[in-house]
Amino acid sequence: MLNQIRPAILMIVALTAITGLAYPLAITGIAETVFPHQANGSLIERDGKVIGSSLIGQNFVGAGYFHGRLSATSGTDPKDPTKTIAQPYNAANSGGANYGPTAKPLIDRVKGDAKTLGAENPSVPVPVDLVTASASGLDPEITPAGALFQVPRVAKARHLSEDQVRQLVTQHITGRLFGLIGEPHVNVLNLNLALDALGKG
């Protein structure tokens, strides 16, 4: 029985070298050569500065930008490092709200947001993705319904016609893969970048 100890220790060491160093480092080498953009986080630069990643949502709050999902991520308080405070879209600390369906704080939060958003565009009910927190807290996308709902606010803030903004949204809807896989969505950062470009043009 004790003669099984030597292979146990040596196998851990040898297989760590193979699966824990050779494998990930080889994948890193190949990825950096073949897919450098994706391997480094699909970063977007504007005027030479990194403004984010097309896969990671941002915390848009201004009326002139489309807003993403609610984000429940938190971070350290810059004023007091011993405290944790709400920090939406903290891409170094992902996670969801984890409220159960009967949680009072959830229902109160949804009630409040539905009221605020309802006042912004009273003509239609609020799409559910705009009043619910994403699983990652970093969801880069909203539904087409969620984007179209925000058109009146964005158009007004930017002094553009609603048709113009709606057209931009429609152009940014990504459908299902092969018309079958996934769900239609709108990437909020890409849409807002296009919106900024429209303003300049």
Partner 1 sequence: MTINGWMQIALFCVLLILIVKPLGGYMTRVFNGERTFLTPVLRPIEIGLYRLCGVREDQEQHWVTYAVAMLFFSVAGFLSLYALQRLQASLPFNPAKLGPVDTDLAFNTSISFITNTNWQSYTPETTMSYLVEMAGLTVHNFLSAATGIALAIALIRGFARRSASTIGNFWVDMTRCTLYVLLPVAIVAALFFVWQGVPQNLHAYTNATTLEGAQQVIAQGPVASQEAIKMFGTNGGGFFNANSSHPFENPTALTNLVQMLLIFAIGASLTNVFGRMIRDQRQGWAIFAIMGVLFLVGVFVTYPVEAGGNPAFAALHIDSAASALQTGGNMEGKEVRFGIANSALFTTITTDASCGAINNTHDSLLPLAGMVPMVNIMLGEIIFGGVGSGLYGMLAFAIVAVFVAGLMVGRTPEYLGKKIEAKEVKMSMLAILILPLSMLGFTALAVVLPVGTGAMENAGPHGFSEALYAYTSATGNNGSAFAGLSANVPFWNVTLGIAMLMGRFLFIVPMMAVAGALAAKKIAPASAGTFPTHGGLFVGLVIGTILIVGGLTFFPALALGPIVEHFAMHAGVTY
Measured distance CA(96)–CA(145) in Å, rounded:
22
CA distances from 169 to 21, 55, 74, 153, 164 (A): 45, 18, 30, 13, 9
Contacts of 2 (CB under 8 A, 6+ apart): none
Nearest distance from C-beta of residue 147 to partner 1, angstroms: 9
Nearest distance from C-beta of residue 132 to partner 1, angstroms: 4
C-alpha dihedral sign at 195, 199, 200, 201? positive
Measured distance CA(59)–CA(72) in Å, rounded:
11
Nearest distance from C-beta of residue 163 to partner 1, angstroms: 17
Nearest distance from C-beta of residue 21 to partner 1, angstroms: 6
- By beta-carbon proximity to partner 1, the closer residue of 145 and 198 is 145
- By beta-carbon proximity to partner 1, the closer residue of 11 and 164 is 11
- By beta-carbon proximity to partner 1, the closer residue of 88 and 155 is 88
- By beta-carbon proximity to partner 1, the closer residue of 133 and 155 is 133
